[in-house]
Amino acid sequence: MSHGRLIAAALVAGLLLGPAALGQVYRWTDADGVIHLSSSKPPPGVRAERIEMPGSKKRSSTSSSNARSSSSASTRSGAGPATPPASATQVAERDELLGRLQTRECVIALEALDRKTDGAEPTSATELRRLKQTAELNCSQDPTRRRQQEEMAAKLRVANGPQCVEARNQLADMMAPGARPPREQLQSQQAFVDEHCRSPVR
């Protein structure tokens, strides 16, 4: 392959990898209310929230500066602007962020499905379909990871349940200004909340 073709190929790869290189993840809700998460831009006309990794703005600024320099040099050479390709670290960080966000949506959807299908809350066929589709899109296909997500959903169900709501309210009352509960009772209540009533997803 000639030197000119190698440069052209590198520029094309940079343009294809550019958006992902900056550590961006896109989140949007479709017309059916199904939540989508992707490192690729949504379809044209779809409004999406762009989630950037912590620290990506600093990298973006450096990348933008480098991109402007490259663009300037490319324009002079007639090759057009180039976007720097994603580094292995950026790809790994982006994939980790995407995985965390997908797990969050998966767990929330599974917990809501469990709650609504057992008659604990009124629902509709449309709502159940939306939750199932959100789970299918965001839950892992790996059996081990899917089992972990289902366990997290079960913990979330408990954390959202009436027993934990009451336990958190009691703890808040104990910690209110002027309250003087026995130290052992406060520690016991805090331990119960920490063990049973903490949400597994943020």
pLDDT, tens digit, 9 for 90 and up, residues 73-123: 444 444 555 556 778 888 888 999 999 999 999 999 999 999 899 887 888
Question: What pTM, to 2 d.p., does this model score?
Answer: 0.69
pLDDT for position 71: 42
187 and 149 together in one domain: no
pLDDT for position 29: 93
199 and 177 together in one domain: yes
154 and 175 together in one domain: no
Count how many domains the chain has: 2
Q: Which amino acid is at 104?
A: R
Count CB atoms within 10 A of the CB of residue 20: 20
39 and 133 together in one domain: yes
191 and 150 together in one domain: no
Give the confidence band of 5 by pLDDT, cuts at 50, 70, 90.
Answer: very low
DSSP strands (E only) in 8-143: 24-29, 35-38, 49-52
96 and 189 together in one domain: no
Q: Determine the structural domain holding residue 193 and report its residue range.
A: 161-202
Interior/surface letters 31-46, b for 16+ CB within 10 angstroms, e for the rest? eeebbbbbbeebeeee
49 and 21 together in one domain: yes
Alpha-carbon gap, residue 23 to 26, rounded angstroms:
10
